[in-house]
Structure 1
């Protein structure tokens, strides 16, 4: 079988071997009728978010299998680690294509989703991301590419509005790291803030693992920065928040969906209290998610963060397949575009770009190692 590849060279590194695990069964069946690929980072800087997504996907597959799977056939998950790396993501996508896996939940990081989606689109495979919010992922109009999370431009607009409304007379710094998504979030927030009529006092890019935190904090202090917006992930922001507090510097910190994991609270410690964050709506509050939440809690799991978005991504594939009575990827994609579904997200559909029709982002605040809606 020939895999149609995107216009990218092969990555030098190989990801993990395909792991087939029958959800809700003692052992994998000899022949899987409906194999769904799951591509998440299980190693690397955002492995914690990847595990949230995987936990949600596994629960959704278990629940779907209890109701007959897709079109009467059981679901088997093929789980692969993309390490949040574009090259590894392409390798994962190509292995799925070689294995004839044409329904995929993933990827998590926008850079990985963008790279892998070219492979999926070229081969007519359906990909539905539970977490990637780069606008370009769906703006290209690829007919088999979807997401259940929000878009970066929506997040940037909300962030700018909050900064302008709550901190109009404060000196604001906008920071990003050297990843495409972080730069896009920072650029979008800056552009929208400037459009409102407010200018930031400092705009800077840091390099994760290479930036001198102490020097950066001194730079922020010297500039009289009172509010720090950071568009990157939880490792760097958690460390910065903690280090700044240790040095007696306590600006208002403002993060994004990249810190929506308990690891941020653990890294920042007590200094995380009061940190603001934009993130997708808390699905634990949705009545449509009540049964799934109850099942998670019965197992001692709090399905926060991206967990229920992983559940929703798999659930959308199942609902579309059952509506169409087919697992053909072209049919599933057409059904996702055309119909509405009762998911843990609520009653939603997907527009012609592949974006979900659910609300995008809300404001949260961190308290005691967890985050909740801000007033």
Structure 2
């Protein structure tokens, strides 16, 4: 985060010839709503990066000013938040988090000539249909979907599979990639459905999967709904192998699901701190 903000702000400052004593940097994410745990994580990293850069002298002798906004992972609110950042005069935006927010907001930043770098929006359309100002620092749904499908095919060849999604840009996008890649591998999906994000009662969904003898459930969506689905599964004695994506990689999932989430499989990018450069070859 620190290197991204430093390098980007420096380039923009040089390119635009800013004469102000400060450089405004925007951060847009779900600071409220069911995905607020991710927004809090984003803002914590954002604030630390800004602080570190300013302590080191800022960018081109100018201090960075953080401008955080809340989009609640809602497309309409995201557009409003993007317009707020543009009006405030930011030179770049760290965000948004949800693909459903990043995609419409990117059009606002494109029109204003403002760089947007999302740390989490994985839907391919975000960059495929984006502009020269649109970037991400995470993988894509088509990558995760392929990895998940191949893993399922290899390690659970006899599983009776259900693929669920929350019908969001992110959740359905990645679940559809899992469905597509399973089909390419000749693996049958026994049950496909979408659930309503934010629902509080998933008893009927669990009952249907239990009746059909589902043994592996792939879920495309966010942690709050996943946690409730798994808890309801335990209540009904339904304990399949659960599989999901990077939106499940948060301690907030266990706060909702409790022990029901134990053993869940997830796809996510390698942690940067554990990434080692390849060994140097010996001189000839």
Give the TM-score, by structure 2 length. 0.87
Quote the residue 1:221 is aligned against: 210
Q: Which runs of 5+ in 1 are unaligned?
A: 1-30, 289-345, 347-375
Alpha carbons 1:89, 1:113 under 8 Å: kept: yes
> What are the residue-to-residue correspondences of 1:53-132 with 2, within 5 Å?
53-132=42-121
Matches within 5 A, 1:299-338: none
Match of 2:243, SS state, is: strand
Q: Give the whole-Å Cα distance in 2 for the aligned partners of 1:110 and 1:208.
A: 15
Q: Do structure 1's residue 260 and structure 2's residue 249 form an aligned pair?
A: yes
Contact 1:32–1:76 (CA under 8 A) maintained in structure 2: no
Q: Find the counterpart in structure 2 of residue 173 from structure 1.
A: 162
Correspondence for 1:239 among 206, 228, 245? 228
Distance 1:286 1:60 in 2: 20
Aligned length: 259
* Rounded Cα–Cα distance in structure 2 between residues aligned with 1:47 and 1:32: 33
Determine whether 1:156 maps to 2:145: yes
Q: Displacement of 1:84 after TM fit? A: 0.8
1:66–1:250 CA distance, 2 compared to 1 (3 A):
same
Q: Could you list the per-position Cα deviations for residues 100-152 of structure 1 after superposition, in whole angstroms to 9, with x for gaps in the alignment?
A: 21211110010110011000011111010111111001102410111111111
Counterparts of 1:233 and 1:73, CA distance in 2: 38
- Is the contact between residue 96 and residue 102 of structure 1 (CA under 8 Å) also seen in structure 2? no
- Return the alpha-carbon distance in structure 1 between the equivalents of residues 79 and 267 of structure 2: 29
Q: Classify the secondary structure of the residue corresponding to 1:170.
A: coil
CA distance in 2: counterparts of 1:149 and 1:32, whole angstroms: 32
Q: Residue 153 of structure 2 contacts residue 187 of structure 2 at CA under 8 Å; is this kept in 1? A: yes
Distance 1:116 1:32, change over 3 A: farther
Question: Which residue of structure 1 aligns with residue 5 of structure 2?
Answer: none
RMSD value over aligned CA atoms? 1.7
Partners of 2:101 and 2:130 lie apart in 1 by: 18
Structure with the higher fraction of residues in helix conformation: 2
Counterpart-to-counterpart distance in 1, 2:21 and 2:102: 25
Cα distance change of structure 1 residues 274 and 154 upon mapping to structure 2, 3 Å threshold: same
User: What is the CA deviation profile of residues 249-300 of structure 1, one whole-angstrom value per residue up to 9, with x for unaligned ones?
Assistant: 1100111112111110111111211011111222342469xxxxxxxxxxxx
2:268 to 258, 279, 298: 279
Aligned partners of 1:249, 1:106: CA distance in 2, in Å?
A: 37
Q: Deviations over 1:305-352 (max 9, x none)?
A: xxxxxxxxxxxxxxxxxxxxxxxxxxxxxxxxxxxxxxxxx9xxxxxx
